[in-house]
Amino acid sequence: MTAKKDKIVEIEEAVVRFAGDSGDGMQLTGNLFSDSTAFAGNDFATFPDYPSEIRAPQGTVSGVSGFQIHFGHKNIHTTGDLADVLVAMNPASLKANLKWVKKDAIIITNSDEFTEKNLGKAGFDSNPLDDNSLTGHLLIKGPLNTLTKEAVKDLDLDNKSVLKSKNMFALGMIYYLFNRDYTKTFPFFEKKFKKNPLVVEANKKVLEAGFNYAETLEVFTNTYRIEKASLNKGHYRNVTGNLATAWGLLAASERSGHHIYLGSYPITPATDILQELSKHKQFTCITQQAEDEIAGVVSTIGGSFAGAMAVTTTSGPGLSLKSEAIGLAIITELPMVIVDVQRGGPSTGLPTKSEQSDLLQALYGRNGEAPCIVMAATSAADAFYSAYEAAKLAMEHMTPVILLTDGSIGNGSEVFKIPKVADLPEIHPPLAKANDPEYQAYKRDPKSLARQWAVAGTPGLRHRLGGLEKADITGNVSQEPLNHQIMTDLRQAKVDKVVDYIPELKIDGDDKGELLVVGWGSTYGVLLTAVEEMRAEGKSVSMTQFKHIMPLPKNVHEVFSGFKKIIVCENNMGQFANYLRMKHPEFKYEQYNKVQGLPFMVSELKTKFDTLLNE
């Protein structure tokens, strides 16, 4: 079940990329290998790379689906630059991914698919398996279709069903390469296909056959082992950012004592949050799949009025549609969490790709003066804590909170230590008491400026809310000019006061130096890795990552003042850099931007930072 001991080479880390046609099951293959990596005790991060077309022509580059995992003995902060191992299930997947592999990578191919027809679809003039164009790589030409059929020839399965499991043959080979116990994947088959024992048996046989093929033919020069990462004691599991977001909301619901109401419309790449929360009715989690984005958010406002911990989830196009209703939540001062899993835009844009595209929309994309709290999760695991904090801030300060994640966080996964809910910060919404003779709709806490939450139906707390401007304190409808100024100032001041309830910026590295690298949200891991590597080379580079954006932490000026140069790195054209120019114009900001639907690479960041240091 594991590789021969005399062939094992100890390594610190590795990057494996699975690639194939949309129907080849590469996402499942990658997820199963991720699970085995978790069993092995390694730290890891993953990057699923989906095709944008729902039904791209089979065998074409536009239909290639990929999954990359970076795992190791040390702490892993990125999904890896270039792959050490590439599994290419057809010519198109090889064509699309050759630029993402190292010069001496191991390339495993399904040679049965390298037919003249498929080579033509992929744009090859000759067969790369035979024309020496892959010289330098360790090329494994495995007839996976043929070998898969041979593995299950004794089972009564049709040819189409048999070939659906060829990805498991490739996975078996990778299990051998990295000394994994393939039998730990068997329970997955037994659970997923429990109604079809024949399919369970087929997948087990094919997985084992792939492992044995790699071992008996000795197709690899070496096999590799990565020792367990140094993780603190606790319960760990592999989580995607969307799953962690859902769990963070569930934890906030339990800690606050307010049941979740989620009103959402399915949209890539946010749908998984809706799907996960719909599974948890035992926690009185009410989910509504609305007919459109507007219905989703306005029903969420109703949920908040009724006393629920109100949530709506979306991506950039949906956030646009929700903007008027978010303004309604702001003027009524009702708590609500809006999770925006960002993707490439504009319009439909790149639905399956990741981009930090919606920051300015989150900050300013509403009519009138409509401020709300804006946060950004920094990783898949951090999405749990960010969702929890977003719910806490929304309920305690009686205002909407927009939580920005993105496709790389939402679909990517990493090791997550499951916390105890009792250890999380307490949540104390400012609930109005029944029959309080002093209750008034817009009477505020003098410290936070939050009004009280008068849950609908509570005796003695009848009041009016709505989209028309309200009089200060009483909540009566008012068109008085001076009152509008007062209420506008109060809504802004309430958000500004949140700065007293959020942590200050932290610096990774020295607090003074030549260059400060600034990021926000999902760029954290790759920026940290680049900075740590440069610091190990003796270079004067530090970094700080923003999680709280509206309002900004109170010590921004202090942090920025310690450095000669500041560079802001983001996966857009400079939205956060321009926001910083507005809020802190006393500093000069360099920019490094990438808008390709792909995360930064450590190598490109280090090149840019070196250029700035040498100027």
* CATH number where 568 lies: 3.40.50.920
How many residues make up the chain in this entry? 615
Q: Which two tokens stand for residue 38?
A: 């978790």
**Full strand arrangement of the beta sheet holding 541-546:** 541-546, 513-520, 563-570, 590-593
**Residues 210 and 99 grouped into a single domain:** yes
pLDDT of residue 156: 86
Question: What pLDDT was estimated at residue 235?
Answer: 87
| Contact yes or no for 455/302 (Cβ under 8 A) | no
CATH of the domain at 191: 3.40.920.10
95 inside domain? yes
Amino acid at 36: S
Residue-by-residue DSSP string for 247-314: HHHHHHHHHHT--EEEEE---TTTHHHHHHHTT-GGGT-EEEE-SSHHHHHHHHHHHHHTT-EEEEEE
- Return the DSSP state at 399: S
Query: What is the distance, to the nearest Å, from the Cα of residue 465 to the centroid of all Cα atoms in its chain?
Result: 36
What is the band of 284 on the pLDDT scale with cuts at 50, 70, 90?
confident
What is the rounded CA–CA span in Å between residue 287 and residue 277? 7
Rounded distance, CA 332 to CA 44, Å?
Answer: 43
Q: What are phi and psi of 614, to 5 degrees?
A: -90, -5
User: Which one, of 55, 60, 53, 51, lies nearest residue 119 by Cα?
Assistant: 60
**Whether 219 and 263 share a structural domain:** no
Note whether residue 62 is domain-resident: yes
The pLDDT score that the predictor gives to residue 6 is 54
The four Cα atoms 464, 466, 472, 476 give a dihedral, to 10 degrees, of -50
Q: Domain for residue 68, yes or no?
A: yes
Output the pLDDT for position 464.
85
Neighbours of 332 (CB within 10 A): 22
Domain boundary at 384, 401, 423, which? 423
The answer on 134 and 276 residing in a single domain is: no
pLDDT digits (tens, 9 = 90+) for 213-233: 999 888 888 999 999 988 788
Largest Cα span, the chain: 86
Residues 6+ apart with CB under 8 A from 537: none
Q: Which of 173, 202, 225 is the last residue of a domain?
A: 225
**Phi and psi, residue 156, nearest 5°:** -85, 75
List residues bridging with 567 in a β-sheet: 517, 590
Are residue 245 and residue 117 in the same domain, yes or no? no
Q: Is 264's pLDDT higher than 70?
A: yes
- For Cα atoms 572, 578, 584, give the angle at the middle one, nearest 5 degrees: 140
List C-alpha distances in Å: 489 to 26, 248, 495, 496. Answer: 53, 32, 10, 10
> Taking 80 as the threshold, does the pLDDT of residue 38 lie above it?
yes
CA dist., res. 574 & res. 596, Å (int): 14
Q: Are residues 117 and 262 in the same domain?
A: no
| Beta bridge mates, 544 | 518
Which residue among 184, 203, 225 closes a domain? 225
Residue 443 lies in a domain: no
* Cβ contact 219:42 at 8 Å: no
Q: Are residues 292 and 178 in the same domain?
A: no
Q: Which amino acid is at 122?
A: A
Domain count, the chain: 3
Helix/strand/coil (H/E/C) assignment for every residue in 73-101: CCCCCCCCCCEEEEEECCHHHHHHHHHHE
Residue 540 confidence (pLDDT) above 80: yes
Mean pLDDT on 260-289: 95
Express as a percent the part of the chain with pLDDT over 70.
99
Q: Give the C-alpha separation, 65 to 80, whole Å.
A: 17
CA 26 to chain centre: 19
Together in a domain, 194 and 283 = no
Tokens representing 205 are: 């046989």
Cα separation of 277 and 281, whole Å? 8
Whole-structure pTM value? 0.94
Examine residue 398 and state whether it is found in any structural domain, yes or no.
yes
Residue 224 to residue 607: CA distance in whole angstroms: 30
**What's the pLDDT score for residue 289?**
97
- Cα distance between residue 536 and residue 341, in whole Å: 34
- Judged by phi (left if over 0) then psi (alpha if -120 to 50, else beta), residue 316 lies in alpha
Tell me which of 1-5, 76-80, 358-362 is least confident.
Answer: 1-5
- Considering only CA atoms, which of 112, 174, 109 is closest in space to residue 146? 112
Rounded Cα distance, 326 and 319, in Å: 9
**Spatial CB neighbours of 359, under 8 Å, sequence gap ≥ 6:** 374, 376, 404, 520, 549, 572, 575, 576, 579
The string of pLDDT tens digits covering residues 550-592 is 999 999 999 999 999 999 999 999 999 999 999 999 999 999 9
419 and 568, same domain (yes or no): no
Do 191 and 65 share a structural domain? Answer: yes
Place of tokens 């057809």: 90
HEC profile of 342-385: ECECCCCCECCCCCCCCHHHHHHCCCCCCCCEEEECCCCCHHHH
Residues 439-464, mean pLDDT to the nearest whole number: 95
Token reading at 357 = 């595209």
Residue 490 lies in a domain: no
CATH of the domain at 296: 3.40.50.970
- Claim to verify: residue 270 and residue 346 sit in the same structural domain: yes
Evaluate if residue 1 carries a pLDDT over 80.
no
The predicted structure's pLDDT at residue 59: 84
- Nearest residue to 72 via CA among 45, 44, 48: 44
39: which DSSP letter?
A: H
Least confident span in 116-120, 219-223, 433-437: 219-223
Same domain, 310 and 374: yes
Look at residue 185 and tell me if it is in a domain. yes
Q: Locate all alpha helices (DSSP H) within 477-595, ordered by sequence.
A: 481-496, 524-536, 556-560, 575-583
Q: For residues 245 and 388, state if they share a domain.
A: yes
Domain assignment of residue 457, yes or no = no
Reported confidence tier of residue 50, pLDDT bands at 50, 70, 90: confident
DSSP run (H or E) holding 67: strand 64-72
Q: The domain containing residue 73 runs over which residues?
A: 5-225
What residues contact 6, with CB distance under 8 A and at least 6 apart? none
CB 87 within 8 A of CB 108: yes
Mean pLDDT of the chain: 95
The whole-angstrom separation of Cα 599 and Cα 45 is: 13
pLDDT at 103 over 80: yes
- Exposed/middle/buried for residue 324 (C-beta within 10 Å: 0-12, 13-18, 19+): middle
Q: Which residues does 132 contact at the CB level (< 8 Å), separation at least 6? A: none
